[in-house]
Amino acid sequence: MDTVTPRIPARAAASPEGAEIRLRAFKATDAFVVEAFRLTAALEGSAGRDLAREIREAAARCGGALVAASASSAGESSERRCMAIAHERLSEGRYYLYLARRLGLIDVARYRALMTRHDAATRELDHALRAAVAAGPRSREPA
């Protein structure tokens, strides 16, 4: 299976560390998204199918927004906006997964394993978003 690596243009990261931060966020999010998609394949019944669709949509939009962020230079408003969208979708997906667990559609052990991946993705995405904000435009002093 081919892996997707976000495009990180040479100008994108203010430093090699910035590129590494983005890549770690992508990898952690990708691992969560892939596992969430795998889990949804097992959801059955009308409630299961509806929740599966919501989970897949939120997860896919999270990954898509994160990849879109990588097309921007570090600190650009478009990078920050896309990362914020990724964070929102990640949070939204967590609720749908919680609901599936509460309805008994996902066993607790599998839910906890997936939430471990979700937490890792959230931490890395938070770190990348903080780095993007820090790399944002500086106020310009008059010359």
Per residue in 95-116, pLDDT tens? 999 999 999 999 999 999 999 9
How many residues are there in the chain?
Answer: 143
- The helix (H) or strand (E) run that includes residue 65 is helix 45-69
What structural domains and CATH numbers belong to the chain?
Answer: 16-134 (1.20.1440.60)
- pLDDT band for 14, please (50, 70, 90 cuts): low
- pLDDT band for 143, please (50, 70, 90 cuts): very low
The model's pTM is 0.79
Pick from 3-12, 69-78, 80-89, 99-108: least confident: 3-12
Pick from 12-26, 112-126, 127-141: least confident: 127-141
**Cα-based angle 119, 120, 126 (whole degrees, multiple of 5):** 85
What is the distance between the alpha carbons of residues 15 and 96, in angstroms, rounded to a whole number? 36
End-to-end CA distance of the chain: 54
Per residue in 22-74, pLDDT tens? 899 999 999 999 999 999 988 888 888 999 999 999 999 999 998 888 887 77
Q: What is the pLDDT of residue 140?
A: 40
Q: What is the pLDDT of residue 6?
A: 54
Q: What is the pLDDT of residue 121?
A: 95
